Chain A
């Protein structure tokens, strides 16, 4: 089904490489968006599209942090807590989000809207504290800005806008 639905996009990806296997990461991103996560069935489907042994594809999904083989919310909120962010407000931001979303980092809110994660450096250290929402950057997210940000994201979901947990349509 995935191939039928995204034939043009997948074919375009395949055309870039002399080896089908190279298309694995991009095709997994498509599958992840299409199915909301990479469960076993979708991983096997991708393997079949690319003629790869199942195990090889599971291996790749397991290795990279941007492939989610567990349930995630509509938005994955990644807060950088690395040096230097952790000394520039990241801890406060995580604490604030945990309190507001009523989940610990690493978990998904009950309404399946947000998954909160601590992540390592995302190359925006001068803008700390910083987070990515579905891989879109939000800079200088001091706790006072959090309510508006969350509201914004919720509204986006309600408005039916295109949501990509893989960041395929990321704007900034």
Chain B
């Protein structure tokens, strides 16, 4: 049953309510009432339980159940921190961007409730440096909320203090990785930390820390307001809820769509995003979950957009970013661009990623320029094998997705280009 619209938005409520970024509008529509209710009538544990029950999974890429993550935080160590991951830098992803610019108060309310749930009195929103406007806007919005007594000391007279600060990154994709983010927030270069310890135990300033994505937290007010059962009416059993998915590339109507999880890729591309930009140029492949994800081809169009189904198809839902590319695109060029990205963003800490991404780019480049060598496909695959699962953090692995996808689906095309 193709849906063309969601009856009710959960995170992109700005699509329904004009000017919801305005605190007056937001409060008119019940804004901050859920936070009040949560902080004054619910226990922290009850909130954690409700979120657990909702089955909300992290929207930052890995899809880890949010309530479970909150449960890892040791109660007796203070202070604790909540970090909002607004580093959104995965190529193809721009849904956090929209939430920040157009529905900021719901994010802030989500932060207040979530901080209360884990017992954090300080939250930092780590926002990518390029969102200079978003950072300013959030600061203004936090100030508005503070003026109303929603942020600061003894909010809602609940006895709970919550400070929210915006911290701007300065241009480094790796800072989206949660431990690199913490390093960056501590004023250091953004390189991932060795785990364990995990941030939940020893994160920011070695204190218990929860890192959650913007969209994840923006879900929270509605889950608490309307309950886990209501939330579960969207999506599927194991991928409940909705997801703001960014679609770009060669579709008619690129943009963000909040979809109920479980619709198929075909529905999403053709019913929601209007189909291919030029109906005469057919779809060639899809990068379905950000540049890190393995590609899909038209034969996968019936894969439902859920964590499990995407994994079964050999890829991932990732950050919810679908890049649709048509037959005009050269596979080699696309793979080259993807790997250039990872080379550019490799932090340098570990050898296989630092050197491997460079190696991959070099080989793609020579194929693209017409100097490919007969063994290059094997070479790419083998270097990929030497990187995959062997790097310090997932960034290095991500660079291999394009290699493996291109070789798997378009070996002939690459081979043809080599000759």
> Do A and B interact directly, with beta carbons closer than 8 Å?
yes
Question: B287–A126 contact, CB under 8 A?
Answer: no
Smallest Cβ distance from B361 to chain A, in angstroms? 13
B222 to chain A, nearest CB (A): 24
Query: By the criterion of a CB under 8 Å from any partner CB, how many residues of chain A are at the interface?
Result: 50
CA distance A136 to B246 in the complex (A): 21
Which residues of the partner chain B approach A137 to less than 8 Å between Cβ atoms? 133
Interface string of B102-133 (1 = CB under 8 A from A): 00000000000000000000000000111111
In the bound assembly, the distance between CA atoms of A86 and B325 in angstroms comes to 11
A133 to chain B, nearest CB (A): 11
Contact of A26 among B168, B171, B291 (CB under 8 A): B168
Indicate with 1 or 0, residue by residue over B130-158, a CB within 8 angstroms of chain A CB atoms.
Answer: 11110010000000000000000000000
Q: Are B170 and A126 in contact (CB under 8 A)?
A: no
**Chain A contact residues: helix, strand, loop or mixed:** loop
Q: Does A120 contact B (CB under 8 A)?
A: yes
Q: Is the CB of A25 within 8 A of B168?
A: yes
Closest Cβ–Cβ distance, residue A148 to chain B (whole Å):
21
In the complex the two chains form, is B171's CB within 8 Å of A64's CB? yes
A23 at the interface (CB under 8 A from B): yes
User: Judging by beta carbons under 8 Å apart, are B190 and A63 in contact?
Assistant: yes
A160 at the interface (CB under 8 A from B): no
A25 touches B172 (CB 8 A): no
Collect the chain A residues with CB atoms within 8 Å of residue B248's CB. Answer: 84, 88, 125-126, 128
Give the complex CA separation of A18 and B89 in angstroms: 27
Q: Is the CB–CB distance between B188 and A121 below 8 Å?
A: no
Q: How many interface contacts (CB-CB < 8 Å) are there between A and B?
A: 159
On chain A, the residues within 8 Å of B188 by CB distance are 21, 56, 59-60
Output the least CB separation between A100 and chain B (Å): 23
Choose the segment among B34-42, B93-101, B195-203, B404-412 that binds chain A (4+ C-beta atoms closer than 8 Å): B93-101
Given A26-B168, A120-B344, A124-B97, A86:B337 Cβ within 8 A = yes
Q: How many residues of B are counted as interface, with CB atoms below 8 angstroms from the partner's CB atoms? A: 57
Interface bits A1-32 vs B (CB < 8 Å: 1, else 0): 00000000000000011110111111011000
Query: Given A83-B338, A87-B249, A124-B97, A63–B189 Cβ distance below 8 Å?
Result: yes
Query: Can you pick out 25 interface pairs between chain A and chain B where the beta carbons lie within 8 Å of each other?
Result: A19-B186, A22-B186, A22-B187, A63-B172, A64-B169, A64-B172, A64-B190, A66-B170, A83-B291, A83-B325, A83-B334, A83-B337, A83-B341, A84-B250, A86-B333, A120-B91, A120-B173, A120-B345, A121-B90, A123-B128, A125-B94, A125-B254, A125-B321, A132-B130, A137-B133
With A65-B170, A65-B171, A123-B130 given, name 18 new contacts (CB 8 A): A18-B205, A24-B187, A25-B129, A25-B167, A25-B169, A25-B184, A29-B168, A63-B189, A64-B171, A66-B129, A78-B130, A84-B92, A120-B91, A120-B173, A121-B341, A124-B94, A167-B133, A170-B136
Binding site for B on A (CB under 8 A): 16-19, 21-26, 28-29, 50, 52, 56, 59-60, 62-67, 78, 81-84, 86-88, 120-126, 128, 132, 135-137, 166-172
- Which B residues fall within an 8 A CB radius of A? 88-94, 96-97, 128-133, 136, 163, 165, 167-173, 184-190, 205, 246-250, 254-256, 287, 291, 321, 323-325, 328-329, 333-334, 337-338, 341, 344-345, 347
